[in-house]
Structure 1
Amino acid sequence: MSDERPVFGCHQVPTASGALRPDEPIMWLSCVAGADVTRIAVTGEVDLSNAHLITELVTTAVAASAPLVVIDLSEVSFFGAYGTSALVLAQRTLARHGRRLVLHRPSPVVRRVLGVTGTLTAFEVVDRPALPAVDGTPARPVVPTRSGS
């Protein structure tokens, strides 16, 4: 048995039609830990198969000394209920350690799911490109806007 780990894109997986397609990830995570802020970016689809990775990454970020964790959700194209659970768990974990969580520019699908589940108001959300101050100043509250305004 080989100790090599599979590399995404190198394997073929069957589709519903029986054709083969490259095995590609559906979600990408990146993390940059600084002294004042840890920035996590989530891209792609957040579902049952991968939402736990967000929680695990935030748990790892607790080891860093940054008082603020910002999760950029602007490039999320699908967001299931497990994504909501992952963010709630992340917020609880950070709060237990005296840290702050801010959701940065949640995509329309993320905003919709969090709104429908009634959890959107439980988070600090920043829609503008600039990130919030680290000194404890709260991010501005979410203000629903109409498309095109």
Structure 2
Amino acid sequence: MWLSCELSRDSSRVTVAGEVDLSNAHQLAEFLEDVVAAKAPLVVVDLSAVTFFGAYGTDALLRAHRQLTERGRRLTLRHLSPVVRRVLDVTGTLAGFEVIERTSVRVAGRGAARRVIPAHTGS
């Protein structure tokens, strides 16, 4: 699993990639606790590059959501990978999250921006 974070005064953006399972979900939970402590009013978690997502990952997200809600702040999940969407749906927790699937940022004179998925070539 790889974790990264971009912090600003208005929001924190966390990117999660790889496998989130029993062996490392505690690291995600601790990482999110640190992000909650940063006090941005909005925390966005990008899950587009997650390839495996277990119940402990769900627990980490639920815990962060609860901590932020108790403080009057928001957690938003962004670009759920099919694996994450399935786990959250099967566990009945998907409906409890605010989910953003598309980027709709306007670029001057060009209409809406869209997400680009890079093609991986070589070995």
Q: TM-score when scaled to structure 2?
A: 0.81
Post-superposition shift, 1:79?
0.4
Aligned equivalents of 2:68, 2:23: Cα separation in 1: 23
**2:37 counterpart SS class:** coil
Aligned residues: percent identity? Answer: 61
Q: Pick from 17, 32, 40 the counterpart of residue 43 of structure 1.
A: 17
8 Å Cα contact 2:36/2:64 also seen in 1: no
Query: In structure 2, do the counterparts of structure 1 residues 130 and 65 end up closer, same or farther at CA, with 3 Å as the change threshold?
Result: farther
Runs of 4+ that moved beyond 6 A: none
8 Å Cα contact 1:40/1:69 also seen in 2: yes
For residues 57-90 of structure 1, what are the alpha-carbon distances to aligned partners after superposition, in whole Å with 9 as ceiling and x for unaligned? 1211122231000000000000011111111111
Q: Does 1:82 align with 2:56?
A: yes
Whose RCO is larger (CA < 8 A, sep 6+)? 2
Aligned equivalents of 2:18, 2:93: Cα separation in 1: 21
Aligned equivalents of 1:70, 1:91: Cα separation in 2: 11
Matched with 1:73 is 47
Give the stretch that moved more between structures: 100-109 or 90-99.
Answer: 90-99
Long gaps (5+) in structure 1: 1-26, 132-149
8 Å Cα contact 2:46/2:78 also seen in 1: yes
Post-superposition shift, 1:35?
0.8
8 Å Cα contact 1:62/1:97 also seen in 2: no
Long gaps (5+) in structure 2: 106-123
Matched with 2:77 is 103
Matched with 2:6 is 32
Q: Pick from 115, 121, 126 the counterpart of residue 95 of structure 2.
A: 121
Aligned equivalents of 1:130, 1:84: Cα separation in 2: 27
Q: When the two structures are aligned, how many residues end up with a matched partner?
A: 105
Q: Which amino acid aligns with 1:92?
A: R
